[in-house]
Amino acid sequence: MSKPNSNRKIYEFKISLIHWGFIVCISEKLSEATDYAVQFLGEVDSFQEVGQGAVAAVLKLSANGNYPIIWIQDTTDTPIFAHEALHATKDILNHLGIEDEEMESLLLQYMMEKFLEIKTGKAKGIKCNLLIN
């Protein structure tokens, strides 16, 4: 029997400057992030290999170009989020054909600001009714 996962939080952030965005999924399992991606956003194109015990990853979505989902188990590990945010930043800019170090720095800064909003409870999650086993 499936039940809603009350521990999972989903946040979507739009970046108006480049008409793009990213999603942060905080959940215990990577499979919860991929289930969300498939159910609400289309198929998952790829994600980096994650080994057993992984606590974070970046998923790339085929339905939305390269609109990434940053999955992280919890908000206690800011350096891990920064690591994944850098991957997501590079993915977004590569997809858009932008090679600019300052733009990369600004986008990474924006992602970190949004993560800190999540961490301090200032960001609002988006509603989804994903059911998991």
pTM for this one?
A: 0.78
What is the distance between the terminal CA atoms of the chain, rounded to a whole angstrom? Answer: 6
Q: Which helix (H) or strand (E) holds 71?
A: strand 69-72
State residue 28 phi and psi, 5-degree precision. Answer: -70, -35
Per the domain annotation, does 69 fall within a domain? no
Q: What domain range includes position 11?
A: 3-48+75-123
- Read off the pLDDT of residues 37-59 as tens digits, 9 standing for 90 and up: 777 666 665 555 555 567 888 87
pLDDT at residue 6 above 50? no
Per the domain annotation, does 63 fall within a domain? no
Total domains in the chain come to 1
Per the domain annotation, does 100 fall within a domain? yes
